[in-house]
Structure 1
């Protein structure tokens, strides 16, 4: 294996106001370019070979890992012209943002894939503050694994940072994993491997933080720091902790929560968490950011690196809550009830499912690279799982009848977690992606207030392409 350190090797204003009034042609002429194409990055530690990746960049700068951070305030417009320099079609999904259906980027459902050499204009308002991200949504099981992901940060309309009890500074921390060969190249032979897809997904052997497997996050003693954590891996669930630091959770998947102490954060693929830490270390010291690589094998993947400067005055008292901005009024008494039954995978009991309109046994499904099903259908997209009138509360029971965990993501909406295995959820957090353990039943509910056709799928991206996907329509 490549010479990797233990920390990297894992066991497995006014101008904007007039923009909407301008003709679309005039707006497009000044739209910033989000170029996607081949690039190189130092994924393995310094001294090892560069890795050929696919990356987001701009018209004037090369692609980076992760892609360039896009940062706006709530209520502001995001405009990017995707320019495809890949040898494959692609599309961009703006994960977690409640936007117009036509801008969602779900290739094959909300837009046609952008062919090599072509462009597509994304133009939408980011309504809600929070930590989001953008990534490929065409052949995402391969394209995200090659590097196509970046952070999308929507700041509060009125700044939270710097207020009494709030953080003094913030930092985006984007995690992902890579499956590398000894040469440092991405291991490509396993792309599309049904054996990975039928198990836990295509797990990598190197974790990076902000594109580095030896990342050091510079902090100052005494400051109160907001960390925006993003799991951009295609399959790896990441339990996280920071040694010798207490953390306060303030948001999940972009949605504020009442501040609560947390010693460990567990992020399924696509999930995000905002935490606040008081930097109590000494100048010049370091503290490890740890990931559980599996079976309680904790590995350092980055470090908080304290500067040598004198400590700044510490902030006393509890962490200030984030402002609650989303209206999630739910009418549970008159809710439309739906169920998503997850079946299949290795060590599962599924005997067969419907594929291309035909009942197929498990051997036939595997031959077609389908190993999972929702409600007895192995990824067919001809009909929706359900339809709901606009404004209706929808209550969905997610029933995981498999031997593997799944991260279920709803496009275009946030939902409230009601129960787990029949027991009321302790916090009733609102999310866009929920972790569902093997044999677990999770009940969620959301207000179907965003019209259009929306994907519902597992964000273990190999599971998605191998059958664990469907869609719903809001009228």
Structure 2
């Protein structure tokens, strides 16, 4: 199964959106070298947990530190990474719905940072957005995060200051909120954090290209190597005849991953942490954009190796499920209850446009109707390539103000040549339409994907007071203009 992956890496080093390629640093490795490295020590590491019990007497300790890891296996050099608690990914934080989470974060890096709790509807002061909800945590300083986890589901945490530089160095970890019933045993509830990395010819993280203007103005920082929980081509143990919950989290800084659950018999039970009423068979391909999550239910019927394939470009195996014989288990699939989120009132909604413009491939020229060539040149020299509603980056005034409890209908129009993953902080929304066509399943999301020239309409209830960010989760796009905010009174 490694041959497909080798072909992708050697022939199309950026296995990118729509099969396109860019001038990526190519790993010049022959097939023998690849197989030797990919199969060495390929066991998915268990997540060390920061148990809630530790927080009952105080705070969980979460430290951002410098560290090293062999991303390309034993044949690659050690990469300089930034890690939480010296772990890749960061330690799992697993709590119960309604629990109070107290984390004392300490910054031991050389630059300021913060922690964003992605997808959790928490108090605004705990959201972790530097310059908007809190000051950056300076080197050597600490910040106490203290919030209640209101909704069960699969979430994650990551750096949110200069995130284009910090997240793709390793600053990310899983946050799991369980409901109060046990639906899956500990060994059948499996987290899979998917990350792509840009490695050089020695299999070492390419740090010199962080902040490259080409990445900012094009599709973002796309990597040429995939890991699952920090390991390349891992073996993931499963039990024959038992239901498993696979929690997929895309922590890549720009890579959209295409997953085909039906190819290995999995059903979809949740997206972005929000459970469905019933498991769905999903033929075809599902997109897992940066920051998005998909929860799958899988009950393997045969022992042996079950390949887990990526459908981005040419299909290739990026992990293998190793299904072992196990005592019979006739327990039916049990799904967690659906979270109670406020339903939008579409009859009495504040309608807001969100027009995306800019970027390469002719996108900057589209801004000339609003600016002179000198103004466009100044924007580009300042690293600003994108706009929302004609405005680049976060401004002093919000894009809109909302009354608490007011329904917001946001209609986004992607007038650029690239896909974007739009994230709304502090709220979940229903995706209503794409290009004017109502969706069969208007699921809850906190991040939605929009293709070039696509119009997407979402709706949510602005019930969480404070200042909330809206941005593209292609992190280079956010840094170069695709960021704005709104305020809930």
SS in structure 2 opposite 1:144?
helix
1:14-33 superposed matches below 5 A: 30-33=58-61
Q: How far does residue 314 in structure 1 lie from its aligned partner after superposition? A: 5.0
Higher strand content, 1 or 2:
1
Q: Which runs of 5+ in 1 are unaligned?
A: 21-26, 58-62
SS in structure 2 opposite 1:44?
coil
Higher mean alpha-carbon deviation, 452-461 vs 250-259, is at 250-259
Q: How far does residue 45 in structure 1 lie from its aligned partner after superposition? A: 2.0
Aligned residue in 2 for 1:173: 192
Q: Are positions 1:313 and 2:313 aligned together? A: no
Q: How far does residue 289 in structure 1 lie from its aligned partner after superposition? A: 1.5
CA contact (8 A) 1:243 1:289 kept: no
Aligned residue in 2 for 1:290: 309
Aligned residue in 2 for 1:362: 376
Higher mean alpha-carbon deviation, 377-386 vs 460-469, is at 377-386
SS in structure 2 opposite 1:463?
helix
Q: Which runs of 5+ in 2 are unaligned?
A: 15-51
Aligned residue in 2 for 1:411: 425
Aligned residue in 2 for 1:71: 94
SS in structure 1 opposite 2:380?
helix
Return the match for 2:302 from 276, 281, 292.
281
Higher helix content, 1 or 2:
2
Aligned residue in 2 for 1:24: none
Q: Are positions 1:193 and 2:212 aligned together? A: yes
Determine the C-alpha separation between the residues in 2 that align with 1:408 and 1:64: 28
SS in structure 1 opposite 2:281?
strand
SS in structure 1 opposite 2:169?
coil
Return the match for 1:253 from 272, 281, 289.
272
CA contact (8 A) 1:250 1:322 kept: no
1:39-78 superposed matches below 5 A: 39-57=67-85, 63-78=86-101
Q: How far does residue 265 in structure 1 lie from its aligned partner after superposition? A: 3.0
Aligned residue in 1 for 2:405: 391
Q: Are positions 1:323 and 2:337 aligned together? A: yes
Determine the C-alpha separation between the residues in 2 that align with 1:185 and 1:301: 19
Determine the C-alpha separation between the residues in 2 that align with 1:247 and 1:406: 27
CA contact (8 A) 2:264 2:308 kept: no
- Cα offsets for 1:100-155 (capped at 9, x unmatched): 00000001100000000100001111010000000000010010010000000000
TM-score when normalising by structure 1: 0.88
Q: Are positions 1:382 and 2:411 aligned together? A: no
Determine the C-alpha separation between the residues in 2 that align with 1:372 and 1:261: 37
Aligned residue in 1 for 2:234: 215
Determine the C-alpha separation between the residues in 2 that align with 1:300 and 1:95: 28
Aligned residue in 2 for 1:452: 466
TM-score when normalising by structure 2: 0.86
Determine the C-alpha separation between the residues in 1 that align with 2:228 and 2:75: 18
- Cα offsets for 1:201-257 (capped at 9, x unmatched): 010111100110121111122211110000000000000236852111111101112
Determine the C-alpha separation between the residues in 2 that align with 1:451 and 1:251: 26
RMSD: 2.4
SS in structure 2 opposite 1:6?
helix
Q: Are positions 1:124 and 2:147 aligned together? A: yes
SS in structure 2 opposite 1:141?
helix
Higher mean alpha-carbon deviation, 194-203 vs 40-49, is at 40-49
Determine the C-alpha separation between the residues in 2 that align with 1:429 and 1:222: 29
- Cα offsets for 1:330-380 (capped at 9, x unmatched): 2110101101100011113444769xx999633222111111000001113
CA contact (8 A) 1:245 1:278 kept: no
What is the number of equivalent residue pairs in this alignment?
442
Q: Are positions 1:202 and 2:216 aligned together? A: no
- Cα offsets for 1:378-418 (capped at 9, x unmatched): 11321111000000011110111111110000000000011
1:62-141 superposed matches below 5 A: 63-141=86-164
Q: How far does residue 298 in structure 1 lie from its aligned partner after superposition? A: 1.8
